[in-house]
Chain A
Amino acid sequence: MARVVVLGAGVSGHTAATFLRDWLGSEHEVVVVTPNSKWNWIPSNIWVGCGEMEKEDVVFELAPVYEKAGIDYRQAKAVSIHPEGGENEEKPYVTIEYTGQGKEGQSETVTYDYLINATGPKLNFGATEGLGPDNGYTVSVCTADHAVHANEELQKCIAKMKAGERQKIVIGTGHGMCTCQGAAFEYVFNVEFELNKAGVRDMADITWISNESFLGDFGIGGLHLKRGGYAASSRLFAESLYAEKGIPWVIGAHVNKVEPGKIHYEQLDGSTGELEFDFSMLIPPFAGVGLKAYAKDGSDMTDKLFAPNGFLKVDADYTAKPYEEWKASDWPRTYQNPDYPNIFAVGIAFAPPHLISKPMKSPNGTPINPTPPRTGMPSGIIGKTVAMSIRDMITKGADKPTHHASMAEMGAACVASAGKDPIHGMAAALTVYPVVPDFDKYPGIGRDLDYTFGEIGLAGHWIKHILHHMFIYKAKLKPGWTLIPE
């Protein structure tokens, strides 16, 4: 009998756990450790954050789904990994601390034969003074609860505008090293759409602020699209949309402090600035969730298993080298830890070898560059790929991973909502191939122009809406769920 323990039930962990359960016979165990009782379809938090969906539309209870599937579910957060076992335990194990199931605060150890770390990001609001809804002055849409709060604040703003009070709205990224520009991009255009719908657009000054060195970088160094006989940069398309909607932008910006009603930032040219706001949604930087690792003798070896940013090391080339020497082959293929072959990391939890966007610094030495995003499609595909490898290692005795899914050989389909309405709504539908540019294979732009495309329109909104229902259906393991692609 083998036991696979999956830490985290987000996009990548839930995918890995449910496929493993489906493929492995009942003689093998699949255990999921995750602190939330509910699964969240995070992309639709954007619509919760502007009042177009309720929290209940984007979450569901995990326990009944896991019970039906035969997955051993522990509502707990993982605290530490002990890959060599410990004083009284021969087998490797993780320590967990319950957050539910009537055992709140209780600790436990769970041994494993294979471990998948799918713990996603820590929303690191603390990196910027005054950032975030809990100890700061800005709102967030990164969790369903944050999005509910964001909408409450937005509605207050709309009420003030209706009463004749002009409002300043600032949306974007809250630190020089943020990722997830796409989510902020979606939110700014959804807010703009809602203000139009409420008849108060003329009462709002909306500004975009981000760490991208050019609009449309998105943390992937931008992309090129075929349009009107040209290979045009995503910069043109992004700027075009902001200009069309009357949203001025501040880019190359590191937000270093937020005070009530005021955002302070530094820019790539070393200058500093301030933006006043009545309502602001700024994405926080991401870090690993802070798992520790211990050797058999109990000594701390967190540095061996994890990169300094808290993400788990996998089969990537982590050698520090200049941008000009970066290769597509630096990116991991199997997501197996080099020291402990029974440990894998999927989704946002794995440590990327380097940025995708070109690294930049202000003259003061402040790094201002988007960090690599790992959006839903790559996270799902990586989760399933690792599950396939572990299945083969358990059932066929394979001595190494049998499947690979490098982000430099994988595309991503992204649909960024720009207004939720079945007739007047819009979204930017994009594909990019590959996610990590391969300048050896595709000199100049790093990507295959035939498989990298994008357009704005109502069709994108329909797709986004269908994806919402399709992925929640799939995550609930309803009939035929395995046929729905990641």
Chain B
Amino acid sequence: MEHIEKNIKPYEPSFTTMVPTNVVRFFRTCLIWQFIRFIIINIKMLQVVRKSHH
């Protein structure tokens, strides 16, 4: 949690937001999980593309 201890100061604007924990940060670059997300995000984006062409 070094990024939290280093970057967040009491009563600064950064204090009132949510900050990802190490687990969330790990999953952001975890190859297997990101491969699954890659497929899912592509499907979601294609749905929006399809909805946008009239």
- Say yes or no: A413 contacts B34, CB within 8 Å: no
State the main secondary structure of chain B at its contact with A: helix
> A412 vs B51: C-alpha distance in the bound complex, in angstroms?
10
Q: Does A459 contact B (CB under 8 A)?
A: yes
Q: Does A381 contact B (CB under 8 A)?
A: yes
| A458-B28 CB under 8 A given contacts A248-B14, A413-B48, A433-B48 | yes
In the complex formed, the residue of A with least CB distance to B7 is A246
In the complex formed, the residue of B with least CB distance to A232 is B18
Q: Does A431 contact B (CB under 8 A)?
A: yes
- Say yes or no: A242 contacts B14, CB within 8 Å: yes
State the main secondary structure of chain A at its contact with B: mixed
> A405 vs B49: C-alpha distance in the bound complex, in angstroms?
12
Q: Which B residues between 13 and 54 are near A, CB-CB below 8 angstroms?
A: 13-14, 16-20, 27-29, 31, 34-35, 37-38, 41-42, 44-49, 51-54
A105-135 near B? 1/0 per residue, CB < 8 Å: 0000000000000000000000000000000
> A405 vs B34: C-alpha distance in the bound complex, in angstroms?
33
> A93 vs B31: C-alpha distance in the bound complex, in angstroms?
56
Q: Min CB distance, A450 to chain B, in Å?
A: 9
| A239-B17 CB under 8 A given contacts A409-B54, A411-B51, A460-B41 | yes
- Say yes or no: A462 contacts B38, CB within 8 Å: yes
Interface size of B by CB at 8 A reads 32
- Say yes or no: B17 contacts A240, CB within 8 Å: yes
- Say yes or no: A463 contacts B28, CB within 8 Å: no
In the complex formed, the residue of B with least CB distance to A243 is B14
- Say yes or no: B45 contacts A413, CB within 8 Å: yes
Partner of B45, one of A243, A248, A404, A429: A429
Q: Min CB distance, A226 to chain B, in Å?
A: 12
- Say yes or no: A248 contacts B19, CB within 8 Å: no
Return chain A residues, CB-CB under 8 Å to B35: 459
Q: Does A60 contact B (CB under 8 A)?
A: no
- Say yes or no: A404 contacts B54, CB within 8 Å: yes
Return chain B residues, CB-CB under 8 Å to A486: 49, 53
In the complex formed, the residue of A with least CB distance to B27 is A457
> A50 vs B3: C-alpha distance in the bound complex, in angstroms?
23
Partner of B28, one of A236, A456, A462, A485: A456
> A459 vs B39: C-alpha distance in the bound complex, in angstroms?
9
- Say yes or no: B53 contacts A457, CB within 8 Å: no
Return chain A residues, CB-CB under 8 Å to B44: 431, 451, 453
> A385 vs B53: C-alpha distance in the bound complex, in angstroms?
8
Return chain B residues, CB-CB under 8 Å to A469: none
Q: Min CB distance, B43 to chain A, in Å?
A: 11
Q: Does A424 contact B (CB under 8 A)?
A: yes
Q: Which A residues between 436 and 486 are near B, CB-CB below 8 angstroms?
A: 451, 453, 455-460, 462-463, 485-486
Residues of A within 8 A of B (CB): 236, 239-240, 242-246, 248-249, 377, 381, 385, 403-405, 409-413, 423-424, 426, 429, 431, 433, 451, 453, 455-460, 462-463, 485-486
| Pairs of residues from A and B, 10 with the lowest C-beta to C-beta distance, nearest first | A239-B17, A243-B14, A459-B38, A246-B7, A411-B48, A459-B37, A410-B52, A458-B34, A457-B28, A413-B45
Known: A239-B17, A451-B48, A457-B34. 14 other contacts (CB 8 A): A240-B17, A242-B14, A243-B14, A244-B7, A381-B52, A381-B53, A429-B45, A431-B45, A431-B48, A451-B51, A456-B28, A457-B37, A463-B45, A485-B53
Could you show 21 A-B contacts with beta carbons less than 8 Å apart? Answer: A240-B18, A243-B7, A243-B19, A245-B3, A246-B7, A248-B12, A248-B14, A377-B49, A377-B52, A403-B54, A405-B54, A424-B29, A426-B29, A433-B48, A451-B44, A451-B47, A458-B29, A458-B34, A485-B46, A486-B49, A486-B53
